Structure formats: structure tokens, C-alpha cells
A and B are shown apart, each in its own frame.
Chain A
Amino acid sequence: MLIQASNLKKYYKKVKAVDDIDIEVREGEILGILGPNGAGKSTTISMLSSLIKPDGGKICFKGTDISKDPGVIRKTLGIVPQDVALYPDLSALENLKFFGRLYRLRGEELDGRIEEVLDLLGLNGRARDRIKHYSGGMKRRVNIGAALLHHPEILIMDEPTVGIDPQSRNHILETVKQLNSKGITIIYTSHYMEEVEFLCDRIYVMDHGRIIASGTKEELKALISKDETIEMQVDRADERFTAKLKGLIDVKHVDENGDRITIISNKNSGILSRIFEAALENGVNLKSIQIKVPTLEDVFLYLTGRGLRD
């Protein structure tokens, strides 16, 4: 076990940012921490990276308590904060040089590492441009690069794709896979379930500072294997129709978002015909309807009654 955290707690006045959670990080895996904004993901990784001290609990890195010796994890840790943690008035090269020197890299070794990182991230041509003149996606890539210079064993990435274009996002996701294939253990937080689903071997689902589920994708989806998710689009939102759906036998949850309605019901319950009857009764036209393969979004909806982006 690379990292073992038990009974972690962090309170800000009366707010329980992280409320008694256990996390294990295994060597060589990509571990996902999934949850909506404010779930406690960033606080959790701040504690795991020794940036903030927990109010309770213990974190061990390879068996050593990091509260007693934070240096043991810091040497081997790369961190990619949610914000672009770079000096905007300096060039990518100057930023990388500075962050490399923090890890005692010097001379040719440092230059070699910088070249390696620029190659990996496809930024060779513009290394001497100031960060503030980069696009959002390029900034994000340098943000990752600054965490890789010292060849970390563990890379913690806190929502590294927020606010960037799909092309840059795909590039970053591919880079994460590539880094993991080289043996780097990755802790990846996101509220984009498709990213976590694409990347992660194991996942912790967090909400309101607590871990509400954990396991592999398959294990999490198995939580709702007795259910099925039905998504439909209607011509207009209708309260009576929604109320009718909620009252149907076998329906466990109804989520309404404008003209889109998501239902979780018992599997193979023959619910479709009853939905059509309810629509006819209330004069609602169904524009589309489909039974979905369950996703992590559905798991979150099932566990919390809310969508990840609510």
C-alpha cells in the first residue's frame, strides 16, 4: 500500500469539509475521487499531500506517518492544483526551471528534464513565451509539466481539465494514461464522471465530506444493477405528469431538468408502457425515450438523489 489514510477529518469552524473518511492508494493505479463541487475532494488531497494538517486521523506513506515526517512524501510527490499554479509573467521555460530547482535539479539534468516534459506535453515551440499569452489548454499542460520534472512516484491531479477545450482535454487525459503506463501512481479528482470512468481503476465517490461509495467502475455500477435508468425528453414540463411518474409502482427516483426527465426504476418491470399511459393521460408528448446503460452519474444519482453538477 502506497498511502493509507484512516479516519481523516477536517473542519472549518462548524463546516465538516472532510468527515471521517478512509482512503487507500495502491502502487501503480489511477485512483479517482469523484464528487460534486464542495464535496471535500480538494481538502482530502491537500491532506494527502501534507499541505494541510487533518483535525483527526492518520495518513501513512509506505508505513510512515506523514504528519511526523512530511518530507518523506514531498520528495516523491507531484501536485497539479486545480488552478494554473504558475507565474503568469514568466515564460514556460522560466517556470519549469524554477520548479525544477525546488527539487534540487541543476544544470544539464534540469535542462534534460525540461525538454522531456515539453516533448511529452507538445509545448516545445513556445517554451519561451510568457504563460499569460498561452491558451487555457496550454496553461493546463504546463501546469502538469511543472509537477513532472522530478519524476514523482505519485501524481495528484485536482480537476486538471476544468475550463478547457475538448481537444486539450483529450490530450491531457491521454497524457495521464501515458504517465500511468510509465509506473506513476495517480490520484485524480473530478466532477466529470466520464473522465473518472475513462481513466480510473478504482473510484471513491464523495459527497458532503464523506465517502458514500468506493470500488472499481464495475463494482460501483453493480450497486444499481437491480435498477435501470430511463431518460426521456418531453414537449413541455408538466408537474402533474412528473407527480404521476413518481407515484408509479417500481419507480425509485425521478429527476426533472426542464424538458428532460430521468427515472430510476426496478429492472424489467415493464415500466415503459405505464410511462406512455401517464403521458397520454396528461396530454404530454414524448419526444424521445431510452433505457440507458448505467453510468457513474447514475450511481451518484442513485446514492444521493442529486446529479453530480447540481
Chain B
Amino acid sequence: MLKIIYVRLLNLKSNYIPYLIFLALPLIFMFVFGSAMGNGDGKILLPVYDSDKSEYSLALVRELESVGTYNIAIMDMEELKRQVSENSAEVGLVIPEGFQKSILDGKTPGLEMFITRESPNLYSLEGVLLGSIQRINYNISIADGTIAFLEKHLELDAEGRASLKERVYQLTGEKWNERLPVAVSGSVVNSGGSEASYDMYTQTSIGFTIAFSMFTFIFAVGEILEEKQNRVWDRINVSPLSKFRIYSGNLVFACILGMAQMFIMILIGYGVLGVNWLNNILGVIMVLFAYTFCTVSLGLLMSSVVRTSHQLQVIAPVLLVSSSMIGGCYWPLEIVDSKLLLAASKIVPQGWAMNALKDIIIYNQGMSAVYLPSAVLMMMGVLFMGTALQVSESAPT
């Protein structure tokens, strides 16, 4: 077995570029997709054109910023229209001229929104705007009421009146922040988890580790096909080395290579992206071990079904990319509604591995979340391996 691993390592030394690409690509994708899918800080971009440029329009912008959901970008009308039309932002907000005057006159102020399509974020923004304007109105009413009360006891000139009104307005605003009239809290219901920490970097770190290591596993095992094609396989098989040792050597090499890739990706995910891979280290090891066994067995099956390495190079990417999509490696299955797709995720190894890893890394579930997926992956591995050996032995040379 060691002889086979030795010759594989020698070949790897002379031909390491494809495996470097298998390592570099997912790392790049991890950073790019992680930031792009999550918009960096998780906030929604909101372009704002302030035509009124008044005290109250600024107050509205400050109110929106204080919500914490939006990245406010003040810009001119042309830029706002461009961003919305190019789908850089879902909605653009225009504060029209006369906004402050409408409020001061006791009228309902109008706001304009530019959209290309309806979305949940649009309805959410409408609610936020309504609340913000109401708060501004309340603050103004309280400030006006306070000034009116004070004027009964004090003499105020116009300047002092304005300054005092501004001060009362600010104090009222701060009081809203100190203690909200209604407190809303949410919690994730799970089996014993404490605090869930979901972000796109976690999704992409887990997803790409699972998806791209599969390429390494399958193509490392697939080197058997090259050997069969150029008859090195025959030469090894007529040697006194047993078939068990020949297969073991190839599979162990594939495992070492794939696990090294997973280790590097996990290390970068943990150290650079802050993904909590160490949340349940025993669980992670258990799932990855079962996944490794399952995937190298799948590689062996694919290598026994196709005849040449060229065929494997054509078929493997199609199968691996589509099954990784179904398994939730590229986007979270939590956003998938289709019952068919969710059921399909249960027949691909990536689906089981992703679910188990997310349960222990993101949702803080204990070892109970690991046992069933690991057992299923091991059973899949046994099935793939058994079929592969059967097919290999009956295939013509």
C-alpha cells in the first residue's frame, strides 16, 4: 500500500497544478461569494436623493440610519435612477422639495420611491418610513408643546425659541432610543442550541469546502483510469501486490489529498473569515470522515463506470456541480421552497454533510445532529464501494 502512495506522491510532485487550482478556486469563491451574497455587513443599500435639504429631511435620513438595516447613500437624482435601473439597489428614496414645510404646516408629507420590481424589502422600507415620519412628527409635537408650556413662564426671543426647540427635539429623540415603547425579541428554536451565528461566509466556507474537496477526491481516485488506459494498472496487478493493497493505496492517497485540502480550507475559514469550525470539533471530524469515505467510494464507482479519464473529466464536473447545488453547497437550503429540491438534497452526499455541519457550526446543535448524517454517508460509501468493485471486476480489460 505504501508503494502505491509513494508513486502517487511522486506523480503529484510532477503534476500538482490541477490540485493547486482545486484549492485556490474555492478559496477565491469563498471570499467573493461570501461578501457578495451577504453584501458585506448584511445591510440593504438605500440610495437617497434629498431635494428638500432641510432640517427635517436630514432628520429622516438620520432616523433611517438609526434603524441599522440600511446603508444610506446620498446621491443626485440621475445616479439614484441609474443604480435602481441597473439593479444595484432594490429601491431608491426621493425626499421632495417642501417635505419640511408639509410637516410644519401639519400636512402629510409625500415621499417618492423608485423601484424596478416589488420585493419584501420595499414593504419593509414603507413601514420604516411611516414609523420614522411618525417619530419625527411626535418629536416636533412634543418640542412645540414644551416650548408653548415654557413660554407661559419665560420670555423667549426667536433665536432662543429655535435653539430650545432644537434641544427638546433632540432630547425627545434620545429618549426613544433609551427605552423603546415595545421591545421585540426573536430566538431560534432548536434542540439545545444557544445562539445561532449565521452569515454568508459560514455558508460559503462550509459549502465550498464540501463541494470542491469532492473534485479532489474524485479526480485523485480517477488516476486509476489513466493507469488502466496505459496499462500500468496491468503491470501493477501482475505483481505480487494484492488487489486489496492496490485499491487501499489509491484510496488512502485520495483521502490524504482531499483531507489536506479540507484542512487548509477549514483553517482559512476559521482564521481569516471567522467561521466557527471548532464549535464542535469531534462532530466536524466525524462528518468529514464519513463524507471522505463516501466520496472516495463514489470516485471509485465513477472510475469503474467510465472507460477513460477523458470521460471522467467530462462527466464529473457536471455531476459534482449539480449535486453540490442540490446539496446546498452554493446557497443555503433554507431559502429553497421546492419540496422536490429539498427531497433531492437527501439523496446526494453533499446534502447530508452540509446539513450536519451547519447544524453543529451554525445552529450549535450537539453530537445528536451528527450521528444520522454520518451513518447515512457511511452507508452510501459502502454501497458505492461494493458496486464499484463489482463493476471493476466484471469489466473487460
Contact = CB atoms under 8 A, between A and B. Distances in A.
Contacts of A2: none
A74 B10 contact: no
Interface stretch (B232-240, B259-267, B292-300, B371-379): B232-240
Contacts of B237: 51
Interface of A: 12, 43, 46, 49-52, 71, 74-75, 77, 79, 81-90, 94, 98-99, 101-104, 130, 146-147
Summarize B's interface: helix, strand, loop or mixed.
helix
Contact of B234 (A51, A94, A98, A99): A51
A87 B239 contact: no
B234 to A, nearest CB: 6
A83 B227 CA distance: 11
B11 A77 contact: no
Nearest to A102: B239
A147 B231 CA distance: 13
B240 A87 contact: no
Given A12-B396, A87-B11, A102-B240, A79 B234 contact: yes
B234 A102 contact: no
Interface in B8-60: 10-11, 14-15
23 contacts: A12-B396, A43-B397, A51-B237, A51-B238, A52-B397, A79-B234, A79-B238, A81-B231, A81-B234, A81-B235, A85-B232, A86-B230, A87-B10, A89-B11, A89-B14, A90-B11, A94-B10, A98-B6, A98-B7, A99-B239, A102-B239, A130-B14, A146-B235
Contacts of A49: 238
Contacts of B11: 87, 89-90
Interface of B: 3, 6-7, 10-11, 14-15, 229-232, 234-241, 396-397
Contacts of A84: 230
B235 A101 contact: no
A75 B237 CA distance: 11
B232 A87 contact: yes
Contact of B3 (A83, A101, A146): A101
User: When A and B form their complex, which 5 residue pairs have the shortest distance between CB atoms, in order from nearest?
Assistant: A81-B231, A102-B239, A85-B231, A89-B14, A83-B231
B99 to A, nearest CB: 72
B240 A75 contact: yes
A51 B392 CA distance: 13
B238 A74 contact: yes
A85 B235 contact: yes
Contacts of A101: 3, 6
A99 B235 contact: yes
A86 B232 CA distance: 6
Contacts of B230: 83-86, 88
A71 B10 contact: no
A26 to B, nearest CB: 21
Contacts of B396: 12, 52
A43 B7 CA distance: 28
Q: Which of B6, B15, B235 has the most A CB atoms < 10 Å from its CB?
A: B235
A104 B238 CA distance: 14
A1 B184 CA distance: 93
B235 A103 contact: no
Given A51-B397, A89-B14, A98-B10, A74 B232 contact: no
A46 B235 CA distance: 11
A92 to B, nearest CB: 13
Contact of A90 (B14, B229, B238, B241): B14
B229 to A, nearest CB: 8
A89 B8 CA distance: 11
B242 to A, nearest CB: 9
A50 B238 contact: yes
A231 B232 CA distance: 43
